[in-house]
Structure formats: C-alpha cells, structure tokens
C-alpha cells in the first residue's frame, strides 16, 4: 500500500500538487485589496474549503465509489451507465463533452505549469525575464519529443521526486505560518462566505481564480484503475492534502506579515540561498505533472477508440511493465502544437489562468451530472437523497463554472473551442461508423441461403481456412460475399469472427470467445473485449480449439473488408460536411489488420464503395 501510494504521487497528484505555484497569487490578483487581512483570510478560507468540498468530499468520498470494474474517469463512468445498451443520448453528450474538455486541460496544463515554475527565476534576477517563454517552449518541445520512447525508465523516480516536492511545500508553508499562526482562523468557513457576500461581483469573480486550487482533482478519479482507490486515498490524506493546506496557509501568512503580493508569492516563502534549487525542483515537478496529463490523454484516446468514438489510431505500447505505458503519435503532436502555441500566445501563467479554469470546471460539472444518474441507477438512491447530494455538487460546480465563464474573452474561449472541435470529431466518427454498418446490414444474406447459392453455382471449394472479420451480428458477412463474387471460389473451412468491444474495462478470459457451428465446416464466433484491452486475434483463435472448433487454424488466410466511403446521391444520408469529415478520418485510420494484430502476410483486403 505505501509503495502504491508513493507511485500515485507521481502519476495522480502532479497537477493538483503544482497548483500552489500560481493559484494564490492569481486569487489575490483578482481582488481589489490583495493585502487587506479580511481579503487574505477570506481567499485562504475559500481555497481550503474548495479543496475539502470538491476533492475530499466529491471525488474521494463519492466519485471514487462509482467504478467500472475498478476503472474511473468520465468515459468509464459514461460506459458504466449503459450508454451502449440503453442508448441514452443525453448521457452520451455529457460524457463526450466532458472528455473533450479534458483534451483542452491536457494542452493548457503543461503550458501554465512550466511557465509558473520558470517565472520564479524573475525573483532571482530580472534579467532572465526575456528568456522565460523560450525556456518553457524548449522544455515542452523536449517533453513531447521523448513521448514515443516511453517513460518507464524514469517513471520510477516520479513518485520519490513528488514526495520531495510535497515535503518541500509543507516545510515552506510551515515556515511562513510560524510568523503569523493566526492564519489558521481561515479554517472557519465564515471568512470565505463573508468575503463572497460583502464583495458582490468581485467576490463572485474571485471564485474563478480560487477554482485553480483543484485543477487535477479529476485525476484522482480518472487514474483509479492504475492503483485502486485505497492507495490514492492514502496519498491524499497522508501527504498531499496536508502539504497543500500548509503551503496555502504559509503564503497567506506571508502576505499578512506585509510581504508584497507582486511577483510569485510561492517563491517568496523560500530563503534566498535555496531559491534556485527550489525553482529547479518546481520545474521538475511541473514536468512530471505535464507528463501525467499527456499520458492521461493517451489513455483516454484508447478508451474512446475502443468504445467507437474515435477512428482507429496507432497505439504504441512503450513498456511491457504496465498497460498504461502507451504512446499515440497523432494526439502527442497535436497536443504539442496547441501547448506551445498557448505558451507563446499568452506568455505568462497569469494570462493562462483564465483559459485553464473553464476547462476543468466544465468537466467537473459534467461529472457531477453523471454522478447523479449513478446514484439513482447504481446505488438505487431515492430522488430526494440523490438530488440532495448531487445537487450540492452541481451548485458548487455551477458557481465555479459561471465564475470562469466570465473569462471567455480573456482566454476561456480556447478550451471551449478545443472541446467543441474534439466533440465534433467524436460525434461525426460515431455517426459515420453507424451509417456504414447500417448500409452493410441492408445487403445481408442468410447463411443457409448463401451456402445454397454456392452449391447451385458450383463454386469450387479450395483447401485451407478462411477467417472473415465482420461487423455484422448475423447472416453472411459482406466480405465473404465480395470474396466469392470476385474470386469465384471459397475455402473448405470457414470461420467468421465479430469483435465486440463492451462497456466494461476488462473481460474474463473464460468468457471472451463464444463459438458455434452454423453449417458444416462453417463456424461463427464472437469475441468480447473490454475498452481497456488490446484485441489480438491470432492469440484468440489459438484458444478456439478448446471450445470445440475443429477448424485447422494453422493454415489461415484472414479476409477483411475495406470500405471506401462516398456520399449518397439521394440526400438520405449524413449531411455532406459530416460525410466528408468521416471520409477523411476513415482514410487516415489505422488499418483494421494492424488494429487487430493480424499477420500482414496472411491478410487479404477486399474493397468496395459504401454510400452514406
């Protein structure tokens, strides 16, 4: 348990653990009187209670109890609520848009984290200021460039480094508190509520900055499948939460003593001789936080592909030690372009804070909505009980979201545009794939009728086994019909395989393959995989004989269909722009034989046009 908790420090808590670098200075910078004691204590009270209510209560106490066979995160939650089975468009829309917002978070986190760490150099010497942005860009370029090599080799150091980081934060905070211990009066929520009530619109706008203290809280839920809930909870309560409380309180105490609020308050806690080592440690910590976000984007992409919401992309396993050690090139380079662009465009962490909060607050709002449905459907809570608990979460999340919404013109439009783009891609791909499957089902022929035609036409049967991959749940697969039509022959042994990706992360090996003989020497099988698993068809077929299949799988030719998608001429299909976008994604998707790990020298591809 302690070892897992230590590892979780480097994967789960990097984002929320580096938020003290920019949160408190942004909060005070939003107020009218940043040095006023009532303002400082009110701001600190809001930060501490936000950490408690959102992270400890919402995520640790409630969300982490709703798992999909151990997996968490908004896509796993969406799948758990049965969107594939029950066809709930509202749940799909909420879950997908929440997932799309996480990509925006993934682009902004590295930019704001690395910038905030390097801005500490301005405290040591003002002459370094022109080099902050170029240095941040250089670090980010290197970070994204090494992703394809994997992080398994250095990943073992992430936990210990973050442990040192949290220990340093706690010590710095305690050092600040010694000079003004009265700062702990902010534990009384009346200070925060009083500030909100007495400052009107300014108090409301401050919530947008306060929310930055919980950026990364979603990771506690999303990364639950890697470690389990208990190690994450142990790390939160034993190390992370106390360190954050001490550091924020220390920053507030420093301001109460009369320390100027310009520059970075976090670095003002540090004694002069230790400033440069702290900046180096902060930079490493922000790189680790950025790495965790990037890895999370890769993992979510794989989930979306498996669930049918994104086109097949090449997923490279970078380590045999962990299933989560993967690399998705397209996502990596797109994230790099957006992240570097945001770093150059905004230039300072203060400017990026406006864009950051809206992405995370909107994602948390979506999660709260899904939690309400989970309380009703899974826990069987009454409407009153579920409404009371989830309603509190929704009220708090809505307040933060609306406060951040006022910053759209200052940069909040960035994650919204990114989310709308990703959401549009996901929805278009899903609709296009469904349209293709519908067109395929329109031309299906019952197996007995097809085999009768083969016999009547005298189609020769050649030695060997043909494995036909199909998306059709019944009847003769279209790829088999095309094969006979063009080659005028059919193998003696036939094996039709349909792969079904279920809305659970993992499936038991015993129930993965179901098989039946539908005609003499004609076998039909269905393979079931979870959305966290990687289908490997040859390994799967090797186990077919144990289920009674007598087909010789040592002499196999795999037949896969390649559909060239075109628009329908009768205007009954998808809108023209959706059809064209789907065509582009289909042409650039990873080939199905690579996706299913088929041996290239045993695959025959048969193409045809499909009008959608």
- Tell whether 303 and 197 lie within a shared domain: yes
Nearest to 214 by CA among 49, 415, 94, 418: 49
Instruction: Give me 271's structure tokens.
Output: 């004694």
- Residues 344 and 448 both lie in one domain: no
Whether residue 45 is found in the same domain as residue 177: yes
- Positive or negative, the CA dihedral 12, 122, 138, 141 is positive
- Domain-embedded: residue 389: no
pLDDT at 166: 96
Residue 437 placed within a domain:
no
The residue out of 348, 369, 393 marking a domain boundary is 348
d(C-alpha 163, C-alpha 168), whole Å:
9
What the block records as the tokens of 25 is 């200075």
Same domain, 462 and 340: no
Same domain assignment for residues 280 and 132:
yes
Residue 344 and residue 458 in one domain = no
The number of domains in the chain is 2
What pLDDT is attached to residue 100? Answer: 86
Contacts 24+ apart (CB under 8 A), 544-552: 544/495, 544/513, 544/515, 547/513, 547/515, 548/515, 549/495, 549/515, 549/517, 549/523, 549/525, 551/465, 551/493, 551/495, 551/521, 551/523, 552/465, 552/493
Instruction: Give the end of a domain, one of 294, 328, 348.
Output: 348
Q: Which two tokens stand for residue 545?
A: 């004989």
Pair 339, 468 in one domain: no
For residue 138, is it within any domain? Answer: yes
Among the three residues 300, 329, 348, which one is the final residue of a domain in this structure?
348
Residue 451 and residue 308 share a domain: no
Range of the domain at 593: 443-611
Same domain, residue pair 13 and 123: yes
Q: Is residue 477 part of a domain?
A: yes
Answer yes or no: do 104 and 253 share one domain. Answer: yes
Question: Residue 574's closest CA among 562, 592, 586, 561?
Answer: 586
Instruction: Return the pLDDT at 86.
Output: 55
User: Would 368 be classed as within a structural domain?
Assistant: no
**Looking at residue 320, what is its pLDDT?**
60
In a domain, 33, yes or no: yes
Q: Are residues 202 and 54 in the same domain?
A: yes
Burial class from Cβ neighbours inside 10 Å (0-12, 13-18, 19+) for residue 286 reads buried
pLDDT at site 321: 57
Q: Are residues 62 and 210 in the same domain?
A: yes
Q: For residue 378, is it within any domain?
A: no
- The reported pLDDT for the residue numbered 597 is 82
Is residue 456 a part of any domain in this protein? Answer: yes
Residues in the chain, pLDDT under 50 = none
């Amino acid at each position: 348990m302690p070892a897992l908790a230590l590892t979780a420090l480097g994967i789960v808590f990097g984002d929320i653990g580096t938020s003290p670098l920019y949160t408190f200075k942004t909060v005070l910078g939003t107020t009218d009187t940043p040095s006023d004691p009532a303002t400082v204590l009110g701001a600190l009270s809001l930060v501490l209670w936000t950490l408690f209510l959102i992270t400890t209560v919402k995520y640790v106490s409630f969300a982490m109890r709703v798992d999909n066979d151990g997996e968490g995160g908004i896509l796993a939650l969406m799948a758990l609520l049965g969107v594939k089975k029950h066809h709930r468009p509202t749940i799909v829309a909420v879950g997908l848009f929440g997932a799309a917002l996480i990509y925006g978070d993934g682009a902004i986190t590295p930019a704001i984290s690395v910038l905030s760490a390097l801005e500490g150099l301005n405290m040591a010497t003002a002459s370094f200021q022109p080099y902050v942005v170029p240095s941040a860009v250089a670090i980010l370029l290197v970070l994204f460039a090494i992703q394809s090599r994997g992080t398994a080799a250095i990943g073992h150091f992430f936990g210990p480094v973050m442990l040192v980081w949290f220990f340093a934060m706690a010590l710095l905070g305690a050092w600040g508190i010694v000079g003004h211990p009265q700062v702990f009066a902010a534990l009384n929520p009346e200070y925060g509520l009083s500030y909100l009530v007495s400052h009107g619109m300014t108090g409301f706008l401050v919530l947008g900055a306060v929310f930055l203290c919980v950026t990364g809280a979603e990771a506690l839920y999303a990364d639950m499948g890697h470690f389990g809930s208990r190690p994450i909870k142990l790390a939160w309560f034993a190390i992370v939460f106390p360190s954050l409380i001490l550091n924020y309180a220390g920053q507030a105490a420093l301001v109460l003593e009369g320390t100027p609020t310009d520059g970075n308050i976090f670095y003002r806690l540090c004694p002069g001789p230790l400033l440069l080592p702290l900046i180096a440690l902060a930079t490493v910590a922000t790189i680790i936080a950025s790495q965790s976000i990037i890895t999370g984007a890769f993992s979510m992409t794989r989930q979306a592909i498996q669930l049918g919401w994104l086109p097949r992309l090449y997923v490279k396993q970078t380590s045999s030690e962990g299933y989560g050690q993967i690399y998705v090139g397209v996502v990596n380079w797109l994230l790099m372009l957006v992240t570097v662009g945001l770093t150059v465009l905004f230039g300072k962490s203060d400017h990026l804070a406006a864009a950051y909060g809206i992405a995370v607050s909107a994602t948390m709002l979506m999660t709260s909505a899904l939690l309400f449905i989970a309380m009703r459907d899974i826990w069987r809570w009454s409407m009153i009980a579920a409404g009371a608990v989830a309603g509190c979460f929704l009220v708090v999340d809505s307040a933060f979201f609306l406060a951040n919404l006022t910053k759209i013109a200052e940069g909040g439009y960035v994650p919204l545009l990114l989310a709308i783009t990703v959401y549009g891609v996901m929805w278009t791909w899903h609709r296009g794939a469904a349209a293709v499957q519908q067109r395929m089902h329109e031309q299906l022929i019952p197996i007995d009728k097809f085999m009768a035609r083969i016999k009547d036409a005298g189609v020769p049967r050649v030695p060997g086994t043909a494995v036909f991959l199909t998306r059709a749940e019944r009847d003769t697969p279209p790829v088999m019909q095309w094969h006979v039509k063009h080659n005028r022959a059919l193998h003696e042994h036939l094996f039709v395989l349909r792969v079904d990706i279920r809305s659970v992360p993992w499936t038991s090996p015993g129930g993965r393959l179901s098989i039946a003989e539908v005609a003499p020497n004609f076998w039909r099988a269905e393979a079931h995989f979870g959305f966290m698993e990687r289908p490997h068809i040859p390994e799967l077929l090797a186990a077919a004989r144990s289920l009674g299949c007598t087909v010789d799988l040592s002499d196999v030719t795999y037949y896969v269909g390649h559909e060239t998608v075109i628009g329908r001429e009768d205007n009954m299909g998808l809108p023209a722009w959706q059809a064209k976008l789907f065509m582009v994604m289909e042409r650039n998707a990873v080939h199905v034989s690579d996706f299913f790990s088929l041996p290239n020298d045993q695959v025959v591809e048969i193409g045809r046009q499909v009008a959608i």
